[in-house]
Amino acid sequence: MFSTKESLISDSNLAHQKVTSEAHNSLAVSDSPDERRLRTKIDLHIVPIVSILYLFAFIDRANIGNAKIAGLDKDLGMTGYDYNVIISTFYIGYIVFEVPAIVLCKWIGPGWFLPATSVLFGICSVGTAFVTTVPQACVVRFLLGIFEAGMMPGTTYYLSRWYRRSELTFRLSLYLVTAPLAGAFGGLLASGILRLSHFGGLTSWRMIFAIEGILTIGLSLVALLTLTDRPETARWLTVEEKTLAVARVRSERVTAQVLLDSMTMRKFFRGIANPVTLSVGIVFLFDAITVQAMAFFLPTVVKTIYPEYDTVQQQLYTAPPYVVGAFMVVFLSYLSWRTDRRQIFFILTAPVVMAGYIMFLASKEQRVRYGATFLVASSFTLGTLTNSQVSANVISDTSRSGAIAFNSMCAHLGGLVGTWAFLPWDGPHYPIGNGLNLATSGMILVISSLTLFWMNWDNRARDKRVAERGDADESLGLTQQEVEDLDWRHPAFRWKP
């Protein structure tokens, strides 16, 4: 299994220095026929693999919501806030290990890291099938959070090695769209699994965790054999294609002399301290409260809306809102790719989500409340747009890994809040949970608008300073390394809204 990747790296070792050297002095031709062919080739070799891995990562995370209405809470003897505590432990593990996970991902390479961590959280999912008490469930969910911590930031960071800034948003959508699809597919898969009488010695909700975990492990082992770490080690690219793949990404990174720089904490934290990273991280935190609450509580909400239906029918009713969310992810990300804009779509999405929560708060009629879930599902779009935005507004590979890790950590802080958004005594209409999410979507609108205004203002201020005193690299009086360490502080850098 491992010899395949070792030979892959060995075969390309001789070409590696030549590729990097040529890319150093090259400028990628903007969307030439050769570049379009290369982009399609990368799309076919990279995107399907990471998309499938993330699909099952989200299924393994969110299937506890499906298991709950299939009898998990009764079998484990849950009372009061036990369910909230169990799903909160996942986020504690996730948040604590988020930054270490992305550092490890960069150090060992995402081509190794992503499949390996997928195998581990698949094992945790299988382990959940055998828990018998609430504390046991907490331990397994904590471990699941540890091993899933690097999945989203690692995949975003990995794709940023292959794509231009404008292209990245749409490619991120093709893997992050699996989050809402996981909600739809997870509900359909859970309803299908529950039709089985048993799986080995397991029955009911235990089959959901076991079968979905085994599928995750199997797919991860396939990915371990096939996922390519970076363009220079891709056996499916010619030497000329490798040169172009490196050059076209490198050409957008002001002051960067190499595509994959060495890891330094200075540059890593420079990516985190970036003003756009901080603003976008707060936006993603607020958005994640909605997204994660929806993932964990939509089955419960559907059950309160349609209490007369059986469990399998209720599982099926969780799917359609996610399908709409998936469409919105791809549609808005495609528009973002073609316009090379991201911030404006933050602003456009927020009022749609707000309208959904206003419907929840204003009506107790079943069809209105179920219709509101379709509007709320548009919140999934910010997963793609925020990760793409922080990636577009740093320069070095190391700064990018820090920015993406911080953005993902913020999302899961929001997810932790989301686990407490819908409390047992607040049901069945959940005015507090829905009010909280209305407030967070309103804050997204305000913060995103102010950030867009600031980015445009600061770009004009940078233009003015350069025009007045001519801040070229030579006039900075710094070494090349010091110039690169400036990252977004460099006078030639401009924010990309």
How many CA atoms, within 13 angstroms, populate the side-chain half-sphere of residue 316? 9
Residue 130: φ, ψ to 5°: -110, 5
User: Using an 8 Å Cβ cutoff, are 329 and 177 in contact?
Assistant: yes
First-to-last alpha carbon distance for the chain, in angstroms, is 43
User: Using an 8 Å Cβ cutoff, are 196 and 431 in contact?
Assistant: no
Q: Which residues are within 8 A (CB) of 23 and not within 5 positions of it... i.e. 6 or more apart?
A: 243, 246, 247, 250, 259
Q: Look at residue 190 in the predicted model and tell me its pLDDT.
A: 79
Under DSSP, the state recorded for 77 is T
Q: Fill in the amino acid letter for 228.
A: T
pLDDT tens digits, 47-58: 999 988 988 888
Host domain of residue 406: 33-489
Q: CATH number, domain at 92?
A: 1.20.1250.20
Does residue 11 form part of some domain? no
Rounded to the nearest integer, the mean pLDDT of the chain is: 82
Higher pLDDT, 482 or 247: 247
- How large is the average pLDDT for residues 358-376? 87
pLDDT at 98 over 70: yes
User: Using an 8 Å Cβ cutoff, are 165 and 248 in contact?
Assistant: no
Q: Look at residue 119 in the predicted model and tell me its pLDDT.
A: 94
User: Using an 8 Å Cβ cutoff, are 271 and 399 in contact?
Assistant: yes
Q: Looking at the 3D structure of the chain, how many domains does it have?
A: 1
Q: Which residues are within 8 A (CB) of 398 and not within 5 positions of it... i.e. 6 or more apart?
A: 106, 261, 262, 263, 264, 267, 268, 271
pLDDT tens digits, 18-32: 444 444 444 434 567
Q: Look at residue 17 in the predicted model and tell me its pLDDT.
A: 40
Q: Look at residue 114 in the predicted model and tell me its pLDDT.
A: 93
| Residue 11 tokens, joined | 């075969």
d(CA 154, CA 49): 13
Does residue 22 form part of some domain? no
- How large is the average pLDDT for residues 156-163? 86
Higher pLDDT, 350 or 380: 350
Q: Is 194 left (phi over 0), alpha (psi -120 to 50) or beta?
A: alpha
Q: Look at residue 346 in the predicted model and tell me its pLDDT.
A: 93
Does residue 28 form part of some domain? no
Confidence tier at 448 by pLDDT (50, 70, 90): very high
pLDDT tens digits, 59-88: 888 788 778 878 888 899 988 889 888 988
Does residue 497 form part of some domain? no
Does residue 5 form part of some domain? no
Confidence tier at 143 by pLDDT (50, 70, 90): very high
pLDDT at 357 over 50: yes
Does residue 40 form part of some domain? yes
